[in-house]
Chains A and B, each alone.
Chain A
Amino acid sequence: AQSVTQPDARVTVSEGASLQLRCKYSYFGTPYLFWYVQYPRQGLQLLLKYYPGDPVVQGVNGFEAEFSKSNSSFHLRKASVHWSDWAVYFCAVKPGTGGYKVVFGSGTRLLVSP
């Protein structure tokens, strides 16, 4: 069975600084990986998705993530954080060979300081 670990429950970044949110996954086969964002009192929005191919994937609002099979990681990055990025970010994994159950990490709350 697949699993996801987001080791940082909370990350604080200054506005304009760069950001990395960490995600480690566990799955023996080929994973499909996703990052979602949840703004206060809203549902989850898909930021970006990885399917086998280029390990660096681009998402919305300047976010990107890099897949590493050797490290079992899928870290999220952004070059310059904006105050509107204040939200909870979830990493998720799905089996690449069929199956429909998606497993989510526990989320990382991003706080942006002025």
Chain B
Amino acid sequence: VTLLEQNPRWRLVPRGQAVNLRCILKNSQYPWMSWYQQDLQKQLQWLFTLRSPGDKEVKSLPGADYLATRVTDTELRLQVANMSQGRTLYCTCSADPGQGNNQAPLFGEGTRLSVL
């Protein structure tokens, strides 16, 4: 059963151009949604966790700038700008971090970004 739907699955991004990613949650049991990046060396790094509609956060990391938005209870977005190296962005979902034993992030299929 697919918990998360990410799109696009792959995008070639001209240098200097921004790209918008979308993630749709299919199971409301896991409302804590996050973004992780995986670099070309396969290193995984947490970027953001957003729980409530309207939440927004920005972050700059080596190789890209990010703006994350929780649009609705089921939709999370990520804008990636100034990307200089390719990477894969994963959307995840998990249960309430203060309760229970379903706190492991569950991953979507990812969006692979390459720089043109």
Contacts of B103 in A (CB 8 A): 32, 49, 51, 94, 100
What mask results when residues 60 to 91 of chain B are scored 1 for a CB within 8 Å of chain A, else 0?
Answer: 00000000000000000000000000000010
> Pick the contact of A98 from B45, B97, B107 — CB < 8 Å?
B97
Question: B47: nearest residue on chain A (CB-CB)?
Answer: A101
CA of A94 to CA of B32 in the docked complex: distance in angstroms? 14
What mask results when residues 95 to 110 of chain A are scored 1 for a CB within 8 Å of chain B, else 0?
Answer: 0001111111011000
**Is B46 within 8 A of A43, CB to CB?**
no
Q: Which of A32, A44, A49 has the most CB of B within 10 A?
A: A44
**Is A43 within 8 A of B108, CB to CB?**
yes
- The binding surface of chain A is classed by DSSP as strand
Question: A88: nearest residue on chain B (CB-CB)?
Answer: B42
**Is B97 within 8 A of A107, CB to CB?**
no
Q: Does A30 contact B (CB under 8 A)?
A: no
Q: Does A90 contact B (CB under 8 A)?
A: yes
> Pick the contact of A46 from B32, B98, B106 — CB < 8 Å?
B106
**Is A46 within 8 A of B104, CB to CB?**
yes
Q: Which of A45-100 contact B (CB under 8 A)?
A: 45-46, 49, 51, 88, 90, 92, 94, 98-100
- B91 to chain A: closest CB distance in Å? 9
Known: A42-B109, A43-B110, A44-B90. A100 touches B97 (CB 8 A): yes
CA of A89 to CA of B40 in the docked complex: distance in angstroms? 16
- A49 to chain B: closest CB distance in Å? 5
User: Which residues of A come within 8 Å of B, CB atoms?
Assistant: 32, 34, 36, 38, 42-46, 49, 51, 88, 90, 92, 94, 98-104, 106-107
Q: A36-B107, A98-B97, A106-B42 are in contact. List 11 more A-B contacts (CB 8 A).
A: A43-B107, A43-B108, A45-B107, A49-B101, A51-B101, A94-B103, A100-B49, A100-B97, A102-B104, A104-B43, A107-B42
